[in-house]
Amino acid sequence: MAKKSKREIAFADGNSEAPLTVADVAVKAGVSPITVSRALNRPELVSDKTRQHVLDVVREMGYVPNLLAGSLASSKSRLVAILLPTIANSIFSSAVQAIMDRLTEAGYQSLLGPTGYSPEKEEILLEAILGRRPDGIVLTGTLHTEASRNRLASAGIPVVEAWDLSETALDMQVGFSHEAVGVLVADHFFAKGYRRFSVISVDDPRAIRRCNSLIERLKQHDLHDVPVEILPLPSTWEVGREGLRRLQQRETPPNLIFCSSDTLAFGVLAEAASQGLRVPHDIAVLGFGDIINAKFANPALSTISVNSAKMGREVAEALLNRFSDSPDASVSQTDTGFELIERAST
């Protein structure tokens, strides 16, 4: 009878979340545990063919080497990794600050990793971070590579996906519906009498989902022509200015622009001023994120608030509840909502 791995024994005992071990990889690869260890840590001690075979099995299984092996099984790193698209865009800053403040208060340290809006870069960061066995991981959004999903599933580490909600959660989710944002914007401004809608967005999957939702809702109001300008990352004032320049070249310029971020909207306001356009009389401008400077723009910027600070606190509490085995730890999805804040720009 073939020898069972610790993983197989764990499954037999009903513990389907037991993390993969070197022994599990060895059984799958048909080699000894020491060969797996050498292939991962001392590759000069094994043949290239054996090392490649072991690495292929490691990738297939989603195994994450434990860099803390040898320490007590009950030890905790008291480290939480937070992966976010960028540290340059303040749309994420209040949420991340709230997460870090609450975790620090509870005795945990935070590690930030920028993914550049790329699931592939997120995968590389996760590979580096998981080996250090953080107690928890916070991801931005729900778009991940299959390899990332496999690694996270096998690691057995609490994960919170923030800024989004979906039906395929990795573990816990804290966020809001981007599709619902698009519906709200369409309904609200259609009711106010706007008919020439447009969108300026960077190439961000969540922003494009809001855009698509807006367009689909406007079709229900019998509006079928919604100009969209999708521009390269990152979000900057100049990108916003370029977006408005492009829209103004169209035969029928819009009278309402929905921007994928407040930063883009600031650029639109600046370009509108340089062209002599009156906001909101000639063109109305709506941002997204309600960053701290939105209400101080000229004119003050209308925007969608996603309750960033509240979201951050909820993310931290979700992790802390899981760490402490609180009864609230069973809550897998928290909708922190959003609201439309109208100011002078609309």
Query: Is 208 part of a structural domain of the chain?
Result: yes
Residue 184's pLDDT is: 98
Contact 263, 91 (CB under 8 A): yes
Query: Is 66 part of a structural domain of the chain?
Result: no
Q: If DSSP codes are grouped into helix, strand and coil, which group holds residue 235?
A: coil
Query: Is 229 part of a structural domain of the chain?
Result: yes
At position 10, the amino acid (one-letter code) is A
Residues 314 and 170 in one domain: yes
pLDDT digits (tens, 9 = 90+) for 200-242: 999 999 999 999 999 999 999 999 999 999 999 999 999 999 9
Any idea how long the chain is?
346
Residues 139 and 168 in one domain: yes
Can you read off the two tokens belonging to residue 278? 């009156």
Can you read off the two tokens belonging to residue 243? 């977006």
Q: What percent of the chain has pLDDT over 90?
A: 74
Residues 136 and 182 in one domain: no
Residues 268 and 200 in one domain: yes
Query: Is 275 part of a structural domain of the chain?
Result: yes
**Residue whose pair of structure tokens reads 């996760």 in the numeric block:** 126
Exposed (0-12), middle (13-18) or buried (19+): which is 96, by Cβ within 10 Å? buried
DSSP 148-195: HHHHHHHHT--EEEES---SS-SSEEEE--HHHHHHHHHHHHHHTT--
- DSSP one-letter code for 302: B
pLDDT for 70 beyond 70: no
pLDDT for 89 beyond 90: no
Q: How far apart are CA 318 and CA 296, in angstroms?
A: 33
Residues 187 and 252 in one domain: yes
Q: How many structural domains does the chain have? A: 3
Q: What is the CATH number of the domain that holds 39?
A: 1.10.260.40
Beta bridge partners of 202: 231
pLDDT for 46 beyond 50: yes
What distances in angstroms separate CA 58 from CA 53, 144, 298, one per listed residue?
9, 19, 55
Q: What is the CATH number of the domain that holds 111?
A: 3.40.50.2300
Q: Within 10 A of 330 (CB to CB), how many other CB atoms are there?
A: 9
Q: How far apart are CA 307 and CA 343, in angstroms?
A: 17
Residues 195 and 277 in one domain: yes
Among 9-18, 130-139, 275-284, the minimum mean pLDDT is found in: 9-18
Mean pLDDT over all residues of the chain? 90
Q: How far apart are CA 169 and CA 166, in angstroms?
A: 6
Query: Is 274 part of a structural domain of the chain?
Result: yes
At position 227, the amino acid (one-letter code) is P
Ramachandran class of 246: left when φ > 0, alpha when ψ lies in -120 to 50, beta otherwise: alpha
Confidence band (pLDDT; 50, 70, 90) for 1? Answer: very low
Query: Is 343 part of a structural domain of the chain?
Result: no
Distance of CA 141 to the CA centre of its chain: 3
- Which of 32, 61, 90 is a domain's end point? 61
Contact 331, 172 (CB under 8 A): yes
Confidence band (pLDDT; 50, 70, 90) for 64? Answer: confident
Q: What percent of the chain has pLDDT over 70?
A: 90
Q: If DSSP codes are grouped into helix, strand and coil, which group holds residue 339?
A: strand
Query: Is 1 part of a structural domain of the chain?
Result: no
pLDDT digits (tens, 9 = 90+) for 238-275: 999 999 999 999 999 999 999 999 999 999 999 999 99
- DSSP one-letter code for 303: E
Residues 216 and 168 in one domain: no
**Residue whose pair of structure tokens reads 């999903």 in the numeric block:** 149
Residues 301 and 186 in one domain: yes
Residues 197 and 92 in one domain: no
* Domain with 83 in it: 79-175+309-336
More confident residue, 287 or 46: 287
Residue 72's pLDDT is: 45
Among 18-27, 108-117, 224-233, the minimum mean pLDDT is found in: 18-27
Residues 184 and 284 in one domain: yes
pLDDT for 295 beyond 60: yes
Query: Is 74 part of a structural domain of the chain?
Result: no
Residues 248 and 277 in one domain: yes
Strands 303-305 and 339-341 turn out to be antiparallel
pLDDT for 313 beyond 70: yes
Can you read off the two tokens belonging to residue 101? 């403040």
Confidence band (pLDDT; 50, 70, 90) for 18? Answer: low
Look at the pTM and tell me if it is higher than 0.85.
no
pLDDT digits (tens, 9 = 90+) for 166-191: 988 999 999 999 999 999 999 999 99
pLDDT digits (tens, 9 = 90+) for 116-142: 999 999 999 998 999 888 999 999 999
Residues 49 and 164 in one domain: no
